[in-house]
Structure 1
Amino acid sequence: MRTARIARTTSETDILVEINLDGTGKYDIETGIGFLDHMIEQFSRHSLIDVTLKVNGDLHVDQHHTTEDSALALGQAITQALGDKAGIGRYGTAYSPMDETLARVALDISGRPYLVWNAKFTQEKLGELDTELIDHWFHSISQTAGITLHIERLYGQNNHHICEAIFKGFARAMRMAVEADSRKQGAIPSTKGQLGG
């Protein structure tokens, strides 16, 4: 079983995350930020990665630490569950439509974190979530999961649709990348013999 459990406590957040990469998309998400919960639920459901994520953060300050640290902890769990990454697909790409919006996500679980973000929002908030934190969430998860991640809003106007299309596209691309490929016979998907560095 490719599973992981991360407990991460700082002076700003107290987080517990559990994942199963070979799950069915079951989730139990409580960050204290309703819209962020909704997006991480979308990630779990469409990636088929089971995710339990409980965050007690300093929301009396603002949402930054909770948003950032939830992504850092989830990325750490993904890294732990993947182990040496032997036999995985490694790459994933998804076009994700939602009504008038189309998003594209391409990623490489390379061990070399990098985010290219080409998406804009025209609202300051979605629900109670500050939209400026959405790309920061993806930056943070790319750092600890070791993902080279390219995200684009190809077109679309509705801010909720844009954000949800991006999270669903990320989920579908991750599903493709983390799935084991039997043809690889457990080989690490790199001619270097390792991923990262």
Structure 2
Amino acid sequence: MTKATRSATIERNTKETEIFVEVNLDGTGTYDVSTGIGFLDHMIEQFSRHSLIDLTMRIKGDLHVDQHHTTEDSAIALGQALQEALADKAGIVRYGSAYSPMDETLSRVALDISGRPWLTWNAGFSQERLGEMDTELFKHWFHSVADAAGITLHMELLYGENNHHIAESLFKGFARAMRLAIERDPRKGDAIPSTKGQLGG
């Protein structure tokens, strides 16, 4: 018997942003991303491609103010969509980790789809902007995703020099770790991967 596709749609409209996000956890990594911030589009596309999560994301934000609201809300909506698509998380592997090399750069990402949001961040950038994107917003993006999705997320830049490579390594590492964690474990069936019988709290 084929299991139902794990998918979700989120529409989130505020005075600061109008957002449509759709995910399919059992996809092939196809994407249609438009946030109004070119470099953020590029990073979210990397997340989709390397996690194999099909992703549509369209955002109209108050970029005439700054990039903060658009960046934050894109992450919140994505996290909400991931959480909804995972439902009770029955049968998933739950944990995922990845080393992500990008030329001279190497990052390490480990995560637990625990229902308990947390971000430990040990990474940084030597320039303030990549393209038109403020690099200080990357940490905030991952924090917002982890919060909204209920993920315990540890991200570490082991070494690297090129700021583009650093950002891409972190996003690809997150994607690969998510790909592992959301996979259905054939040995677990529909069991919740916790001795509590539930995840979160």
TM-score bucket (shorter structure): over 0.9
2:27 to 23, 31, 34: 23
Q: Does 1:37 align with 2:41?
A: yes
Deviation at 1:188, TM superposition (A): 0.3
What is the match of residue 151 of structure 2? 147
**TM-score under structure 2 length normalisation:** 0.98
Q: 1:104-136: per-residue Cα shift (whole Å, max 9, x none)?
A: 000000000000000010000011110000000
What is the match of residue 93 of structure 1? 97
Letter in 2 for 1:13: T
- How far apart, in 1, do the equivalents of 2:9 and 2:64 lie? 27
Q: 1:27-86: per-residue Cα shift (whole Å, max 9, x none)?
A: 000000000000000000000000000000000000000000000000000000000000
Q: How many residues align?
A: 197
Q: Does 1:161 align with 2:170?
A: no
Deviation at 1:185, TM superposition (A): 1.1
- How far apart, in 1, do the equivalents of 2:197 and 2:133 lie? 41
Q: Does 1:57 align with 2:56?
A: no
Structure 1, unmatched stretches of 5+, are: none
Instruction: Give the 3-state SS of the residue equivalent to 2:193 in structure 1.
Output: coil
Letter in 2 for 1:61: V
Paired-residue identity, %: 75
Q: Does 1:83 align with 2:92?
A: no
What is the match of residue 75 of structure 2? 71
What is the match of residue 198 of structure 2? 194
What is the match of residue 171 of structure 1? 175
**Alignment RMSD (CA, Å):** 0.3
Structure 2, unmatched stretches of 5+, are: none
Instruction: Give the 3-state SS of the residue equivalent to 1:55 in structure 2.
Output: strand
Instruction: Give the 3-state SS of the residue equivalent to 1:177 in structure 2.
Output: helix
- How far apart, in 2, do the equivalents of 1:66 and 1:131 lie? 14
**TM-score under structure 1 length normalisation:** 1.00
- How far apart, in 2, do the equivalents of 1:13 and 1:154 lie? 35
Runs of 4 or more off by more than 6 Å in structure 1? none
Letter in 1 for 2:135: T
Deviation at 1:178, TM superposition (A): 0.5
Letter in 1 for 2:101: P
- How far apart, in 1, do the equivalents of 2:72 and 2:42 lie? 16
Letter in 2 for 1:172: R
Instruction: Give the 3-state SS of the residue equivalent to 1:183 in structure 2.
Output: coil
- How far apart, in 1, do the equivalents of 2:9 and 2:16 lie? 20
What is the match of residue 46 of structure 1? 50
